[in-house]
Amino acid sequence: MKNEENWKEKLTPLQYQVTREKGTERPFTGEYYEHKEQGTYLCVCCGEALFSSNAKYDSGSGWPSYYEPVRKEAVATESDQSHGMVRTEIHCQNCGAHLGHVFPDGPRPTGLRYCVNSASLKFQKE
C-alpha cells in the first residue's frame, strides 16, 4: 500500500481529495458523467475493474451512475453518517479508495444506484 505522499504524487489534487479524503466533485462536472463509450471503469488509484458501461445509466443526479459493479466483491460498503445524513459509502475493495455512495433508488434489475465520482475512475475502452 502507498503512503499519503505516494498518493499525492500519483493522483491529481481532485483525485486525491475524492479518493483519499472522501471528497465529492461538483455535480454535472465530472469527466464520465455523460460518457457513452463501451468499456470498463477502473479505480483511478489501483486499476481494479469496478463498473461496466453496460450497467451505466443516466440517473439525473449529476454523477456517473451504475446499477451494479462488475463483481459484487469489487466494491465494499460502509455506513457514512457525515453531513447530518446516513448514507452507504462505497469504496474500492482492493485499495480502499472512496468512490461515492450507493442508494436504493436505482433501476432494475438491482434497484440500486451506485453514484460515483468521475475523479475516482479511469476508463478502459472495450
Q: Which residues are catalytic?
A: 115
Amino acid sitting at position 103: F
Collapsed DSSP state (helix, strand, coil) of residue 90: strand
Helix, strand, coil share (%) of the chain residues, nearest 5:
20, 30, 45
**Torsion sign, CA atoms 101, 102, 106, 108:** positive
| Strand arrangement, sheet containing 87-92 | 56-57, 65-66, 113-116, 98-103, 87-92, 75-80
